[in-house]
Amino acid sequence: MARIYAPTSPEITEQEKNHMERVRRIAAEGMVLLENKGVLPLRADGRALAVFGNGVRKMVKGGTGSGDVNSRTVVNIEQGLEDAGFSIATKPWLDRFDQACADYGAGYMAEFQAILQEKGFAGVNWALENPYRDPAVPEITREDLAGTERDLALYVIARTSGEGADRKLNPGDYELSEREIENLKTLTSYYEHTVVILNVGGVIDTKFLRSQKGIDAVLLMSQPGCAGGLALADVLTGKVTPCGRLTATWAENYADYPSAESFSYLSGNLDDSEYREGIYVGYRWFDSFGLNPAYPFGFGRSYTEFALSTRRVEILGGAIRVTVSVKNTGALYAGRETVQVYVSQPQGKLDKPYQVLAGFAKTKKLAPGEEELLTVDFSIPSLASYDEERAAWVLEAGSYEIRVGTHSRDTHIVAALELDETVVTEQLQNKVRPDCELPGLHADPDRFYTYLSESAEKAAALKLEIIPSTIPTRTAHYGAEAVEMHTEKTEAVTLTDVLEEKATLEDLTAQLSVEELAALVVGAERGGLGSVSAVGAASAAVPGAAGDTSMELADSRGITNLVLADGPAGLRLSKSFVTDGQGNVIPGLGESAFGNLFDMLGVPAAQRPDGAVDHYQYCTAIPIATMLAQTWDPAAIEEAGDIVGSELEQFGVDLWLAPGMNIHRSPLCGRNFEYYSEDPLLSGLCAAADTRGVQRHPGRGTTIKHFALNNQEDNRMHCNSRCSERALREIYLKGFEIAVKESQPLALMTSYNLVNGIHAANHRELLTDILRCEWGFRGLVMTDWGTTAASEGFQYGSSDAALCVKAGNDLTMPGSQADVDAIVKAVGRELALAELQACAKRILELVLLRAKLQ
């Protein structure tokens, strides 16, 4: 019988209340003010507001799929405004939209239920590929406006997306719909000012919003978690001065993105995705190819003004320190500013982008007239580029210009680091090479973005000399083959023996049979991906959790399971469940993480026995990852991680299947909301902060994902992502590398897709050579759910369970008997016993860690 952690009282706890307040504060810090012609902040005077749009009552707190979180409550925008003292003058229009959504939703659910009746649980894939979207908003008529005050209207544009499907380059998704445009025209012709609020998880086209006269403010509220309406009201009323900054470039036109035509379904080929833009992703592309964005990377406005002054740039050993004075020069509002430091690397054998982010820091809240000195530190080797011919990270000779500013189109040269010879900072071996020829993209410095004072800044910049001999060269050492473990112990060794130091973990591992080892490295859901409980409800002890490791050795060896839970914006668990008098969970009772899915499948409801006990698992929906990154505040992100870590402890979950940290290669990726940024440095530092917050709680850990090149959702399980090694190392792996080296996450999840011709879960060069040997990762590697499932009808097949083990992918999830059988059969053939033992031992290390804390 599994231990049950969930409380039996349905009453809201002090921890829940505390977490809601923390989410409110963090979310407000991540909102980005894009436009403001003096209309914001609003006076909190209790007036009646005209509020329209699809996100007012149906505010999107986060994405769909595994990104969802089942919170007790979600405070929407209407509730947040009313809590701030406003009344809503347009409730009849909002009621009309509610009814339209109810009618449309009934039709969608009827279609979904028919598909479930035909296909069973496999029909869930239809919902992932065809996610529910609210219908078009109603027309705003003159009758809807009658009786409202004519000075101001709010219009909320909401978008949602999730795993299994990419966003569409269509009206109502990336673009505004015709109805949204017509409604905004109606509002701007009637009201003196219109404020547009973007309740979106990613980029949308903003041309109309910026060109339409009368739209006097645009606020990106993002997808803010369960206290979003309260946080929005705080920002709109000036209780919080907006200080969020963008973490992706918002283009003037979708066609301006370098991957515009080659992304996902737009390429006409869902089997192969070629990353032809190389290192030129996001602002690196826009700055280097002379394209002006609508909103640049790092951009955000405030209710006040700040003045920056660089005081010092100095070399401290192998690092650079930039000291900047920031002063609030406004007269009315306190606020926070983010200092961003970029570096322009010298053009040499390797072409370089115009600039790359090197570091950043954020002020405390500064009162009008208040000043703060910030320091931004970064290492000199972090400025290196990857040279494929040398298989090395190199600092090429030349001038490294240090730029200070507040976003990527507001940087000014303050110093130049002079290096008179090329230095190898890290000698590696080439790994994960492309399986085809990829045309290289080269930037022409004559097309670089520039500004009037740039030449004068270069001439006047402080010159600092880097002494080549002070920069050490690190050489990676790739591990020898795994060594088979043996023991002299004759009595059966248990985990308790290891805890009591009567035996070692090696003794225990060595005693396990091939069958026992195989059971250990395969998840507990022996029914496989197609079973009712395999996705999102596969845990025996924590209903709604994504799955468990094996319990097959619990009686014989004392090896208990690890519980793994989804949710990049908090834990996704069932809100409630029921146990019998002996503490066994009764399937089908309580409020499932899947809502009424099991009823729709025709699964008969269990009878509630005498002595049954109700348990409750109310979790906190934190802001989406993109919004956390928009705070540009590692301390705030660490606090969000701490919220999740405390709930991992509370509910008995060991590993959080987050954070997601793939790069925003295209704005149309369906899961961009789960990911931090287009920039690898920012992504890596955010994931490290998230991990530190979670892992403050002993024995609880993050699972950084999806490793690697998971940058589209359409055909995500069978797409071959093709990328140059330089782009792979500098852009797509760099964030993972930073997170590993800065915070040592307890786990990592591989992606479904192939990486240059080999499935990520089967890629030994990726998982062993790079992740473990080069970066020093010490944790557990697991697959995404169902990576070994059947794959008929696809050009590329699925991962192989035995090859997962051989690659160093320790755990196959959710697990099937076929996976176990394949591993057992492979031992002594393509799979060495030592390789299987190595994977099992890494799982046992986490089980042992958890056991020590109980």
**Is residue 526 very low, low, confident or very high in pLDDT (cuts 50, 70, 90)?**
low
Closest CA to 52 of 161, 151, 141: 141
Considering all CA atoms of the chain, what is the largest pairwise distance in Å, rounded to the nearest integer?
87
pLDDT at 588: 78
Closest CA to 716 of 662, 767, 678: 662
Share of the chain above pLDDT 90, in %: 85
Query: Which of the pair, 568 or 660, is modelled with greater confidence?
Result: 660
Query: What would the pLDDT profile of 114-165 be if each residue is shown by its tens digit?
Result: 887 777 766 667 776 777 788 899 999 999 999 899 999 999 999 999 988 9
pLDDT at 69: 84
Q: How far apart are CA 421 and CA 424, in angstroms?
A: 10
Query: What would the pLDDT profile of 599-613 be if each residue is shown by its tens digit?
Result: 555 566 678 888 999
548 is catalytic: no
Q: How far apart are CA 737 and CA 101, in angstroms?
A: 44
Residue 532 CB partners (closer than 8 Å, separation 6+): 121, 598, 601, 603
Average pLDDT over residues 372-376: 98
Share of the chain above pLDDT 70, in %: 96
For residue 280, what are its two tokens? 């030129």
Average pLDDT over residues 529-537: 43
Query: Which of the pair, 711 or 793, is modelled with greater confidence?
Result: 711
Q: What DSSP string describes 369-390? A: T-EEEEEEEEESGGG-EEETTT
CB of 249 within 8 A of CB of 295? yes
Q: How far apart are CA 759 and CA 803, in angstroms?
A: 10
pLDDT at 116: 75
Q: How far apart are CA 284 and CA 298, in angstroms?
A: 13
In terms of Cβ atoms closer than 10 Å to its own Cβ (0-12, 13-18, 19+), residue 655 is buried
For residue 560, what are its two tokens? 């208990």
Q: What is the Cα gyration radius of the chain?
A: 27
Helix, strand or coil for residue 427? Answer: strand
Lowest mean pLDDT, pick from 107-111, 324-328, 593-597, 673-677? 593-597
Closest CA to 158 of 73, 243, 229, 248: 229
Rounded mean pLDDT of the chain? Answer: 94
3-state helix, strand, coil in the chain (%, to 5): 30, 20, 50
Closest CA to 417 of 471, 473, 497: 471
Average pLDDT over residues 374-400: 98
| Sign of CA pseudo-dihedral 818, 821, 826, 832 | positive
For residue 288, what are its two tokens? 């280097």
196: which strand partners?
A: 155, 218
CB of 567 within 8 A of CB of 69? yes
CB of 289 within 8 A of CB of 443? yes
CB of 481 within 8 A of CB of 834? yes
What DSSP designation does 133 have?
A: -
Choosing from 166, 205, 714, 784, the catalytic residue is 784
Q: What DSSP string describes 329-363? A: --SS--B--EEEEEEEPPPSSS---S-EEEEEEE-
Query: What would the pLDDT profile of 436-445 be if each residue is shown by its tens digit?
Result: 888 888 999 9
Q: How far apart are CA 327 and CA 330, in angstroms?
A: 9
Average pLDDT over residues 407-424: 98
pLDDT at 119: 74
pLDDT at 484 over 80: yes
| Amino acid (1-letter code) at residue 746 | L
Residue 95 CB partners (closer than 8 Å, separation 6+): none
Helix, strand or coil for residue 291? Answer: coil
pLDDT at 1: 56
Query: What would the pLDDT profile of 568-591 be if each residue is shown by its tens digit?
Result: 899 999 999 999 888 888 887 888
747: which strand partners?
A: 703, 780
Average pLDDT over residues 18-30: 98
pLDDT at 529 over 50: no
In terms of Cβ atoms closer than 10 Å to its own Cβ (0-12, 13-18, 19+), residue 178 is exposed
For the whole prediction, is pTM greater than 0.75?
yes
Residue 237 CB partners (closer than 8 Å, separation 6+): 41, 42, 43, 44, 84
pLDDT at 153: 98
Closest CA to 837 of 479, 484, 562: 484
